[in-house]
Structure formats: structure tokens, C-alpha cells
A and B are shown apart, each in its own frame.
Chain A
């Protein structure tokens, strides 16, 4: 009896978590997928009606804006955060005095809630009293910086705040990568008189390819899930000019009472995430087995 218990105990310990994950992750994805093919409105209905929700979604100008915004925001956010992170990491890797303090300062925004970040930047970018007012106070009377309330530019304020929050983290990733590059190779290159910028561009940066990939995955994932930042900074506005898929989904689910639209938009979000993450996970898991 106790032997039987002993051999099955590991399974019994893992079982509740396994069941929970199967139910609340995979089962729920299944539910959402199913409902996205129905005519559910305020209440879920379960008769399959084909792709009506997706057709409606792709015909909706608001969803169009949300996807465009995701593309603009995602691209700029990822590219700027990576470039800035890499630059800061390289500069911080020059045997800088008080590196620890500087690193702490660069990274602290990552500890903050996106709601706090959004609140802070909303105040800084406030057209009446924030940066604009400050620069005008310096004597530049005609200076305007009204991105926050300008539908054509509001999405860039989300980029600004997002980069501020995440670039320090990318810096930390790259710094760890720089520290793991084989010093012998660098010394050999220096002895050969290869200029520093060539050492970086031809030896160090190419050897950090896996870190670029990780940073990309994390940032892309953050971009697609971005919800709090938009809510706190712009509320999706002006109008719905800064809507992202995440805010669209939330609006459909909880304020418009359109479960079908919420489910289909959530499915698209998941597919975008998977298109990025699955090849990465697959290669990671394969590399383990080889």
C-alpha cells in the first residue's frame, strides 16, 4: 500500500496543476474559439454559424485601427527599445564607475505597474501644464507638443512611455550577453589591430543572436498584450485612435456586451502571439533534445 502510494505520489502532486492548466488554459481557449464561430451577443450561444464574427471584425474600422496601431506601436516599440537597450549596454560595458547605480536607475521602471507609468506620462505630456507649457515658459511661445490629444500622434505617446518602461530591461539582457562573450577572441582581435567598432559589429553583436531573439520575443509579447498602458495613458482615445487589439477586446467584452466580437478578437490576438512564439519555443525545445 505505501509502495503504491510512493510510486504514484509524484503524479498525484502534479495532477491538480495539470488539470487546472488543461481546464483553465486549454479548455478556455477551446471555449473562446468555439464562441468565436457563433452569433453570441450579450450572452454566449453555442450553435456554430461559421465565420460571421471574423467577417464582422475585419470589416470593422475600429478593429482596423487597432491592428494598424499594433503594427505601428509594436514595430517602433521593439526597434527603439532594442537599439536603445543595446547602445546603453555597450556604453555601460566600458568599465564604467558606479555601474551598479546607473544600472539600477535604468531598470527601475520595469518594477512599476503600466498604470503608474501611464499616469506619470499622461501628466508629463499634458498639453496645458506639462512639457509643452514648460518649454513655452523658457521663451519658445509657439512650441506645441500635443501628441496626447492629437489623433494622428497619440499612438506615439504610447511608444514613448512603453520604451521608457522596457528599454532598461533590454539593456540588462544585452549587458548579460556582452559579459558572456569569450574575452580571448576579443583580445586576439585587439592584438590584430581590428578597430573597436568592427569588433562589435563583426564579432560581439553576431555572437549575441540568441539574446536578440529573446529580447524580440519578450518585447513582441509585451506589445501584443499592451492594455494597461493604453488605458492609463490615452484611454484608447482621442476617439479610438489609440485602440489596440487588447483594448478592443476588452471594450467588446465588458462595455459593449458583444461576446462574439470579443472572442474572435481574442483569437486573433492569440494567433499573432503564437505566430511569433511557436517557432521560438519549437527551436528551444528541439535544441534541448539534440
Chain B
């Protein structure tokens, strides 16, 4: 932490410094405020556009407030907008995303916890190599696995299914969930495990009664990370789904880029907000953990 106003002793020329400091603080807040506007502007435009009628959008200005608030676009986006030939709105796809995300998050978090527990506390020959291999897997561009995965899903009878997408998200989420739990469990002293072993507790018991109760913060971080990843995923969704099983991001893209009929910008914006709401909500409610996951996911090791 460094404070600009502290940089020179204030006693030397009191009046000049006081004014200079005020001006400096003012421009500081001005700068920060302008950037806050820059980040908020798209959200503001999305919300106001979604509440306008098409007529008003055509005649009004991008950033003007709606003269007459209407929720018609929201209703259409939720249950009437066309994604290709079907016109059921985002609703069914929103449910698809939930059906994919909930088991996907649960399974990959559970497996990550067990893997992290083994790698951090039950080392055996080669366990570090396994960890490095899993870590490395986090970095691959998924394009390199798309083609074989499409074939394997087909052979497993999971092509275009919700289960197939859950499977894909679990597999390619494992590296990160394992990393999160490993880095958390590695800070717990190994003496704890040794003492528990002396007392006759085994692998499962130690995990269940010692590690799991300590894990709440890292479980929250991992769940938020995985939920955001899976909910916001587009590449796997568009590659491995078919009509009817698409996640909400794919449906949103189809609504926005469908070429039939009149372009309904208000419906596009309402649909975009609906698709963004769950992760935005998570961010607002648990922002601290969200940021921790982001930084843990980027500053590895």
C-alpha cells in the first residue's frame, strides 16, 4: 500500500500541498469513476434496451432510459424467442444448463477433493508425476480433444446427450478441482494424518472426519469456479449437443444470430441477461470466493 499524499512531508509548504492534494484526490476519483462507468455501460445498455419496445429502440438513443417500461421482451426471451426452428425461448435451455451444471459441479468437486487428498497427504511413488500430468492438462486448448471426444461420445452412446456434456465437463474440470484441493490440503500438517493413523483411523475415516470438516472454504471456491466454467461454456456445448440438449449459451447465440424475421434487439438483450444471471448472482453473493478461485486458477502451484 502506498499513499500518494504521504510522498512528501506536509510541513514544508502547507497551503500549496493541501490544494495539490485535493486536486490529486479529485482527479483520482474522477478517473476511477469514469472507468466504473466504462465497465457498467454495457450492463446498463443491456438492461435499458431489454425494457424498451422495438419502436423506441429504432427512434431513441442507445443510452436513453426507456420512456415506457415493458417486460414484453423478457417474456419473449424466456418462453417465445426462436432458436432456429423451435420457438420456445430460453426456458428449456436454461434447464439444460442446470441439468448439466449441477451434476458436473458435484462430481468434479468430489473427485477433486479425493484426488487432492491423496496427492497432498498420501504420497506414493509417482503421485507427483500424476499431479504434474493433471496440471498440464488444464492448459491444453480444448480444440485438440474435440474430434476424438465427438467420436468417443458417439461410441459410448452419449452423443448429443446431457449425460455426455456432464461427462466432458467432469473430465476437463478434474485438473483444476484437483489443483484447488491439493493446494489447500498441502497446508495441513502431515502429523495430523500420522497421529490419526496411530489412533487406528484409516484413509476414509481421516478424510471424512478430519479433512472434509476443514474443507468448507475450498469447497466453496471450487464449486463457484466449476459452476462458472460449466455455465459459461460454449465450445463443448456447441460441439457435443443437438437440438433439445443445448445449454443456455448456445441457445442465446442461436437467438441472437438467427437470421429469420425481424431483429428484436430488446429480446436479444433480455435473453443475454437471463443467460448471465446465475453467474452474476454467484459473483454478487460470493465475490470473495470467486476472486480467490480466479487467482488460484491463474497463479498455479
Residues of A participating in the B interface, judged by any CB pair closer than 8 Å: 6, 9-11, 13-14, 16-18, 20-22, 24-29, 31-32, 35, 44, 88, 91-96, 102, 104-117, 119-124, 126, 129-131, 133-134, 137, 164, 168-169, 172-173, 176, 178-179, 181, 183, 186, 190, 193, 195-196, 199-200, 204, 211, 214-215, 217-218, 221, 224-225, 227-228, 231-232, 235, 245-246, 249-250, 253-254, 259, 262-263, 265-267, 269-270, 273-274, 277, 281, 284-285, 288
Contact among B122, B171, B275, B295 with A113 in the assembled complex (CB-CB below 8 Å): B275
Contact across chains for B28 and A96 when beta carbons are under 8 A apart: yes
Q: How far is the CA of A193 from the CA of B140 in the complex (A)?
A: 49
Contact among B62, B144, B269 with A28 in the assembled complex (CB-CB below 8 Å): B144
Contact among B3, B57, B174, B290 with A21 in the assembled complex (CB-CB below 8 Å): B174
Tell me the nearest residue of chain B to A97, going by C-beta: B29
Contact across chains for A108 and B234 when beta carbons are under 8 A apart: no
Given contacts A24-B171, A111-B290, A96 and B32 within 8 Å (CB-CB): yes
Q: How far is the CA of A224 from the CA of B249 in the complex (A)?
A: 20
Contact across chains for B32 and A13 when beta carbons are under 8 A apart: no
Contact across chains for A178 and B1 when beta carbons are under 8 A apart: yes
Residues of A within 8 A of B260 (CB): none
Contact across chains for A122 and B256 when beta carbons are under 8 A apart: yes
Tell me the nearest residue of chain A to B255, going by C-beta: A119
Q: How many A-B residue pairs have CB under 8 A?
A: 284
Residues of B within 8 A of A113 (CB): 231-232, 234, 249, 252, 275-276, 279
State the majority secondary structure of interface residues on B. Answer: helix
Residues of A within 8 A of B92 (CB): none
- Give the residues from 112 to 149 in chain B that come closer than 8 angstroms, CB to CB, to chain A: 114-115, 117-119, 122, 124, 127, 130, 132-137, 139-149
Contact across chains for B149 and A24 when beta carbons are under 8 A apart: yes
Q: How far is the CA of A173 from the CA of B252 in the complex (A)?
A: 31
7 closest residue pairs by CB, A with B: A113-B232, A10-B122, A111-B283, A228-B234, A28-B145, A266-B143, A25-B137
Q: How far is the CA of A125 from the CA of B70 in the complex (A)?
A: 24
Q: How far is the CB of A242 from chain B (nearest CB, A)?
A: 14
Q: How far is the CB of B264 from chain A (nearest CB, A)?
A: 11
Q: How far is the CA of A82 from the CA of B3 in the complex (A)?
A: 22
Given contacts A115-B249, A176-B295, A235-B257, A124 and B45 within 8 Å (CB-CB): yes
Tell me the nearest residue of chain B to A92, going by C-beta: B32
> Is B10 in contact with chain A by the CB < 8 A criterion?
no
